[in-house]
Amino acid sequence: MGDVSETSWFSLPPESVDAYARHWLAFESGSVDFDDEMDEPLDAVIDGRLASSDPHRALDVVIRILDLIRDDLSGGLGQHTGILAAGLTEDIIRFHGELVIERIEAIAGERRDFADVLGGVWMVTSDDVWRRIRAVATPVETRPDSDQRPRLRSHRRQLRATPLRRRR
């Protein structure tokens, strides 16, 4: 877990957080795939490079995704919170849990939806950070979709195995 520099090799401009959150949801909804309009920054959001290089910006993307899910009048986007937990959120915690734990605690204290997402991550960090995450996370057992976790793991493995094709 290396240090995160002030100017990481990859960084989204502030206005791009919304665009990449929307693209992530479109990808997870199946309306866009790796061949459609993919570019380096979106690849980085999906494959974990954003989480490893710029964890605070990655958290901004997670929060924006949750905002979009909350504002979805059809309610269909809510099915993606488990993938958000097992993907981008878990990557942030794995790579930089110690660096972002205070911010994670603050967000979870203000937002139930984020606490729900934290309830879906697996232990991928130090015991201290994990204890602090468990203290603010909604326990999976109390959520109605707790039987979905094995399917989400399978989906994540499939995503990780998918070769990324970048436009040139």
Residue 60's CB is within 10 A of a number of other CB atoms, namely 19
pLDDT at 72 over 60: yes
Q: What is the model's pLDDT at position 164? A: 47
Q: 133-159: per-residue pLDDT in tens?
A: 999 999 876 554 545 555 555 555 555
pTM listed for this prediction: 0.74
Q: 103-135: per-residue pLDDT in tens?
A: 999 999 999 999 999 999 999 999 999 999 999
